[in-house]
Amino acid sequence: MERLLVLARHGQSEWNLKNLFTGWRDPGLTDRGVAEARAAGHALKQAGYGFDIAFTSELVRAQHTCALILEAMGLADIEVVRSQALNERDYGDLAGLNKDDARARWGEAQVHLWRRSYDVRPPGGESLKDTGARVLPYYIETILPRVMAGQRVLVAAHGNSLRSLVMVLDHLGPDTIAGLEIKTGVPLVYRLGADTTVAAKAVLARDDATGR
């Protein structure tokens, strides 16, 4: 039984390129983001992985990434489940603002707290703790049973929704999670043991033209 779980952050979005807080706003992928997603799919296929089901968020950048990965693997027809529980962290009043402009207005330290701390909410938005409060029940109730039944599972989502999941899978504390960056389009490959804990983990390197 494989118990395979692969996490992939969406490829570069239009607002990633513009250095804007995105959250639940819904920009599409850039050309680079499309290339990153396709390269992730090719890398997974080349490494011999396959999937029986995929999960993604209600936001188009994650959905497009999921579709591109599966298409590159020749798996475009498998079941894809969408859920708001996997959406990016809600940045509230910061959504749409340039990150450098936000630093100039509120200061580097405050913006860093909003972006990377565990339990500090941006104005009108969610903390990473809040994000985990919706991601983790969905993982436990919906995704994990599929993995434990032997299905090979892909989750294509967002930097912070995946950070909250990786925090639990990798047993990272609130202080450590602040420094964790999940790169766009780089798959994290987990093998789970019979007790649902992580038996093995690998970061799948991309060999592509994006330079990342």
Is 10 inside a domain boundary?
A: yes
Distance CA 129, CA 154 (A): 23
Is 156 inside a domain boundary?
A: no
- Domain span holding position 56: 4-151+182-188
Distance CA 55, CA 139 (A): 10
Strands 153-157 and 53-56: parallel
Which residue is listed with tokens 């027809």? 77
* CATH code: domain of residue 9: 3.40.50.1240
DSSP secondary structure string, 111-167?
HHHHHH-SSPPPTTS--HHHHHHHHHHHIIIIIHHHHHTT--EEEEE-HHHHHHHHH
Mean pLDDT (whole number) for 99-118? 92
Q: What is the pLDDT of residues 152-205, one digit of tens each?
A: 999 999 999 999 999 999 999 988 887 888 999 999 999 999 999 999 999 997
Is 170 inside a domain boundary?
A: no
pTM of the complete model = 0.93
Is 101 inside a domain boundary?
A: yes
Q: What is the mean pLDDT of the chain?
A: 94
Is 79 part of the annotated catalytic residue set? no
206 or 2: which leads in pLDDT: 2
Q: Which of 36, 64, 88, 126 is catalytic?
A: 88
Q: What are the tokens at 128?
A: 């990473």
Is 88 part of the annotated catalytic residue set? yes
Q: Which of 10, 36, 126, 158 is catalytic?
A: 10
Is 132 inside a domain boundary?
A: yes
Distance CA 116, CA 2 (A): 33
Q: How many domains does the chain have?
A: 1
Is 212 inside a domain boundary?
A: no
Is 164 inside a domain boundary?
A: no
Is 196 inside a domain boundary?
A: no
The CA dihedral of 183, 189, 193, 195, to the nearest 10 degrees, is 30
- For residue 178, the model assigns a pLDDT of 74
